[in-house]
Structure 1
């Protein structure tokens, strides 16, 4: 199984016994009481209104991340994450297909966490839920509960970057730091975090620019042209909370970059400390 599958492929394999299909949707809503002006909520209510048949629900907001961590979507331990995935039916011998209902970032975040715990037999549905419905495929209202399975953690700590590694990268020309937020955020013209701008030395590749107007990833040639880096370099992606950054990390991995990490805490952590260097423009 490729790491990116089409709706056509999924339709052919949706009843395979070893396939675990998971809806990973999180919904972002306006919220005047939040300093950012928005908040993220579980996509479970939308899942219950209609999802791809045989899809379970991977609750990134409430079950796959810490409920009260220092940043939103803070990582569980590898053991806790594997146990949570096991509750969804994911085991060592499973194949997993992930999708969401908006811009692939949520599915990519779960894909990257699976990579972090050493599980490689996972794919993202290209185009997400819209790709499924646009082909005339029906949705289901039936909840899907699978037997609990065992996913053995084999952690790869190197695919997650922490604050200290990012701080060290600021003065290290051998490390490529990629800001995946929109250009106006990168330049400091807009911000929903305590400080505007980008981490000093970072380049900008807007994560949403990786997708076409239907939400499908661009062709490999187009994506390669956007990522003209040394394939052996250490590359760290970040955004606001490690979501869109996971999409770019997924793309980089598919392009053959072999030393990629996501700064999961991203600007949500970085901007709270005035001593962390940032720049505007």
Structure 2
């Protein structure tokens, strides 16, 4: 099977609806951020999936079924056997290609429709799945273009899978500690500039990991058109920090390892293949008082 692009358009997907080798996955998870500054609440998008989704799509529950239930941190990658079992039960395996989408990251402000889709794509890549794409603009763009929707649940026959894990795609806290003193590794904080500077109370402690630079994940798409920026535009912030240098390794992080996967995917799209995601991100780092954080005035 020929490789498919990392990002596909709504036209591209619509032309392939009904292809027996295609698997469409709705990975929506919602985040509700209170205006009073309290911690955000996160909940499954399964109810929204049941109301409407792209024809043929199945639902992948990142919150309840595809995160490590034994971890004290949210959304950590689950044990390999567990993840593979869930994905093959959905019909995803060796002999198909997969397009993942979501309905937008936030309840009131989608920010970018690919935030959760990229998380599932990264987990699949980490475990060795291939031929995975993200739908540019996700369901918001699909709906805005008046493309077909259904409430009928998608269903595929169980699949077989023989791929191998790619451990180089995941960074641990120890990897990040070493990276802070290594000029050949670029640490990218994918959160908002306010989070990066330590102006918010979103995490156990304020600030960013030493030596890390800020490239906000929400800046990669146009909020009106729901489309990603051109490669030329996407390149600018990464070229500025040297992240596209093929001789460098890049580690992306955010708050809980979700937005960091979107940054990782963009870097892959731009040709930087040596990228790892710090899965624990600030949820883990800021909870450990021995790990340094930097705040900016």
**Bin for the TM-score computed over the shorter chain:** over 0.9
SS in 1 for 2:289: coil
C-alpha contact 2:94 2:163 (8 A) present in aligned 1:
no
SS in 1 for 2:93: coil
Which residue number corresponds to residue 230 of structure 2?
219
Task: Report matched runs for 1:114-263 at 5 Å.
Answer: 114-213=124-223, 214-228=225-239, 229=242, 230-263=245-278
C-alpha contact 1:85 1:151 (8 A) present in aligned 2:
no
C-alpha contact 2:69 2:78 (8 A) present in aligned 1:
no
Comparing 41-50 and 144-153, the one that deviates more:
144-153
Normalised by the size of structure 2, how large is the TM-score?
0.91
Residue 30 of structure 1 and its aligned partner are, at CA, apart by 4.6
1:17 aligns with 2:20: yes
C-alpha contact 2:24 2:100 (8 A) present in aligned 1:
yes
Give the Cα–Cα distance (whole angstroms) in 2 for the partners of residues 37 and 250 of structure 1. 27
Match of 1:50 among 29, 41, 52: 52
Per-residue displacement from partner, 1:243-279 (whole Å, max 9, x unpaired)? 1110010000111112100001100000001110110
Which 5+ residue runs of structure 1 have no aligned equivalent?
none
Give the Cα–Cα distance (whole angstroms) in 1 for the partners of residues 46 and 202 of structure 2. 25
The structure-2 alpha-carbon separation of the partners of 1:191 and 1:204, relative to structure 1 and needing over 3 Å to count, comes to same
1:275 aligns with 2:296: no
Q: Give the CA RMSD over aligned residues.
A: 1.5
C-alpha contact 2:255 2:281 (8 A) present in aligned 1:
yes
Normalised by the size of structure 1, how large is the TM-score?
0.96
Which residue number corresponds to residue 88 of structure 1?
90
Which residue number corresponds to residue 113 of structure 1?
123
C-alpha contact 1:25 1:100 (8 A) present in aligned 2:
yes
Which 5+ residue runs of structure 2 have no aligned equivalent?
105-111
Give the Cα–Cα distance (whole angstroms) in 1 for the partners of residues 174 and 131 of structure 2. 30
Which residue number corresponds to residue 100 of structure 2?
98
C-alpha contact 1:21 1:98 (8 A) present in aligned 2:
yes
Give the Cα–Cα distance (whole angstroms) in 1 for the partners of residues 51 and 252 of structure 2. 34
C-alpha contact 1:82 1:153 (8 A) present in aligned 2:
no
SS in 1 for 2:205: coil
Give the Cα–Cα distance (whole angstroms) in 1 for the partners of residues 68 and 280 of structure 2. 12
1:2 aligns with 2:5: yes
